[in-house]
Amino acid sequence: MDQGYGKAPLGTRLGILAALLLVMIGAPTAALLWMTSVPGRSFEGPLPPLGSGGTRLAGRLRGHVEAIASVPHNVAHPEALEQSARYLERTLLSLGYRVRRQSFPAAGTRVRNIEAVVEPANAAAPTLVVGAHYDSYGDAPGANDNASGAAAIVELARALRPLSGRSKLRVRLVLFVNEEPPFFKTEAMGSRVYARALKASGKATGERVIGMISLETMGFFSDVQGSQHYPAPFGSFYPSAGNFIAFVGTTGSRGFVRRTVAGFRSVAAFPSVGGTGPAFLQGIDWSDHWAFEQSGFPALMVTDTAPFRYPWYHSPEDSPDKVDYPRLSRVVAGLARLLGRWGAGGER
């Protein structure tokens, strides 16, 4: 009787084992490549001169951040939160916008989201939401997290104002309250309140929301190797110096992330990375885009990666002097050109 009966030859068994190992190693690698793949190429080389326009933009951004976030402002510091909200409203009004308040109760007081809209030429045009939270965490002044994003909203409103009434895209510019704990991922989170209301009104009016862009902690950069960190195992796929802006979303918003990165890279001379990941991945949904994904809208975050780079994240040292205004101005200018292009030609 053949003693090898019922067994594959040694060579065959080794081949099967090798194939299994290849699958075990190759499948995760392929998945990571799929998540981190974005169109276009990141800008490389020395940044071009900022120019007088960029210098003025950087100065305005500094002024907004100092006005919004020189002291802690949240429901535990209600007077400062109110002052920040009123500053944002006054500034948007001065730019010619009609400002809408969305007020709701939280922690025994009333708080509000603030909205200004770039109206389209056609009421049936699709909608893009661009938002940032203006509250700070605990006793942190919140200059980078997230007055940098709130200031960017104000300057995007300025840049997009000429499109009002002519745009092929309705752009809802929103400043959210209560993004920070203890409200994060609760029903009292400002963006959660807003997204739920937008979904409900859209069912009644037919308004079609094509996506949401959350501007979150955008103003710290470093050219030092090793200054940038990532949740494992993404460090092998991205730069080690934190001198770029990141476009991040969950895998459900992969198409929207890819379109946005491609659009930014086509108009902005600034380093960028992009990618998606599952919602359980550390940091992937740590901003207002989470709320919009909960309501079924594609959404992403534009960020300097916050705790993965910024040494003063959620600390009392998160003050206006920590923000790199020249580089923040380059990011904002790039976003303004991207949104202007989408508004002029529609987002497809």
pLDDT for 68 equals 98
User: β-pairing, 209-216 with 299-303?
Assistant: parallel
pTM of the model: 0.91
Task: Give the separation between CA 233 and CA 235, rounded to whole angstroms.
Answer: 6
- 3-state class (DSSP) for residue 277: strand
CATH 3.40.630.10 fits 66-345, yes or no: yes
pLDDT for 33 equals 78
| DSSP type of residue 120 | B
- Which residues does the chain have with pLDDT short of 70? 1-8, 10-28, 346-348
Task: Give the chain's largest Cα–Cα span.
Answer: 95
pLDDT for 29 equals 72
Main-chain phi, psi angles of 137, to 5 degrees: -90, 125
pLDDT for 27 equals 65
pLDDT for 3 equals 43
Tell which residue, 180, 191, 252, has the closest CA to residue 217.
180
Over the stretch 86-130, which tens digit does the pLDDT of each residue have? 999 999 999 999 999 999 999 999 999 999 999 999 999 999 999
Amino acid at 258: R
Beta carbons within 8 Å of 318's beta carbon, 6+ residues apart: 69, 136, 140, 141, 142, 143, 144, 145, 310, 312
pLDDT for 4 equals 44
Task: Give the separation between CA 332 and CA 320, rounded to whole angstroms.
Answer: 17
Domain range annotation of the chain: 66-345
Helices (H) and strands (E) in the chain, counts: 8, 8
List of E strands, 43-160: 100-106, 109-118, 127-133
